Structure 1
């Protein structure tokens, strides 16, 4: 099985495979590459709908150039890498940031959230984010303000009175509950439209169906979040066992 970076020709084959609606595994088989290699390549370069071979190749070259230049800018590696493959970690961070962006987060906000999630401590200061991501303090401040408004991070003071930004075990639960509240508002507003448009009209029927659907999904989401909340506090061993028992 070939190793090393993908070539431009391989990227063109990936683009052709996506255009033909081939699964990642099939594209990988044709390239004699691991499926994970193809998945990472596509997800960090626009996703299935936005992947462009030439743009992906150019972006990869630019990332490699930035990494070579990083030591000259004084960037420091984390104090403890725990024996991880740093290149694989960087690639994964790019993939996760792309997924967050596809879910609606702005690019810089996604990068900040990824940095917090992939830090073992689960918290960073503004200066640490600036150093880690090589971005401006203003960019950090803007990203944190957005994440804070969505309940995805919280702020706390450490022993040196520095403000730290934290992603703790409960942020996804709180985010799910906030989403359910937004759904409840949509349900209420849709049903107001039913009364205004007339209960026997096609438009009102459409709105009522939307309200019933969203209401059902929202209630199911809240129940599932409550039932699964404990998973957020599982240890690595417990999380693996819980995932297996759920299957």
Structure 2
């Protein structure tokens, strides 16, 4: 199998166990609403020792067509989980995970909660205000998303502090 990067493994890998885990985690993400093929590609990239993979590498590892990989990486790039980079001297693009992909995606999507809450405010008014059944439901939704926005912001700040402490301890 052609690899994008040469890798010297520190410990032996159990490729069958990695593949089973990738498929299981992808299924879990799909059960939460994340599209199945992008889930498989993301988990394959997360579990790879290489820093980047080509569409061919991903297709080989997942036993799927390059077209399936193309759509999946396009989706993952739009979400902020994958970055495409040209390979010098090659016509093939390489795909890599950005630094701290989960943090970055969560930070980028955090603004959605506030925007959704703002939009809900207009619907509450249009539905007759918070004294109506629909208005109360919509207000509860608005308040929930405002709460989540605040809590996600606090959690992200704590994560950065914890991550910095962990890096300092390893030095």
Give the TM-score taking structure 2 as reference length: 0.81
Alignment equivalent of 1:186, drawn from 116, 138, 154: 116
Name 1:135's counterpart in structure 2: 64
Name 2:73's counterpart in structure 1: 144
Matched, 1:157 2:86: yes
Matched, 1:98 2:27: yes
**Structure 1 stretches of 4+ moved >4 Å:** 77-81, 232-235
Deviation at 1:185, TM superposition (A): 2.3
Distance (whole Å) between structure 2 residues aligned to residue 100 and residue 234 of structure 1: 27
Name 1:198's counterpart in structure 2: 128
Name 2:147's counterpart in structure 1: 216
Deviation at 1:77, TM superposition (A): 8.5
For residues 16-71 of structure 1, give each alpha carbon's deviation from its aligned partner in whole angstroms, at most 9, with x where no partner exists.
xxxxxxxxxxxxxxxxxxxxxxxxxxxxxxxxxxxxxxxxxxxxxxxxxxxxxxxx
Name 1:64's counterpart in structure 2: none
Distance (whole Å) between structure 2 residues aligned to residue 140 and residue 233 of structure 1: 37
Where does the alignment leave 5 or more consecutive residues of structure 1 unmatched?
1-75, 239-247
Decide which structure has the larger Cα Rg and report it. Answer: 1
Name 1:109's counterpart in structure 2: 38
For residues 149-195 of structure 1, give each alpha carbon's deviation from its aligned partner in whole angstroms, at most 9, with x where no partner exists.
11111112233354211113222122112332222222112111121
Larger deviation, residues 78-87 vs 163-172: 78-87
Distance (whole Å) between structure 2 residues aligned to residue 216 and residue 110 of structure 1: 28
Deviation at 1:220, TM superposition (A): 1.2
Matched, 1:170 2:95: no
The 1:219–1:205 alpha-carbon spacing in structure 2 relative to 1, beyond 3 Å, is same
Aligned alpha-carbon RMSD (Å): 2.6
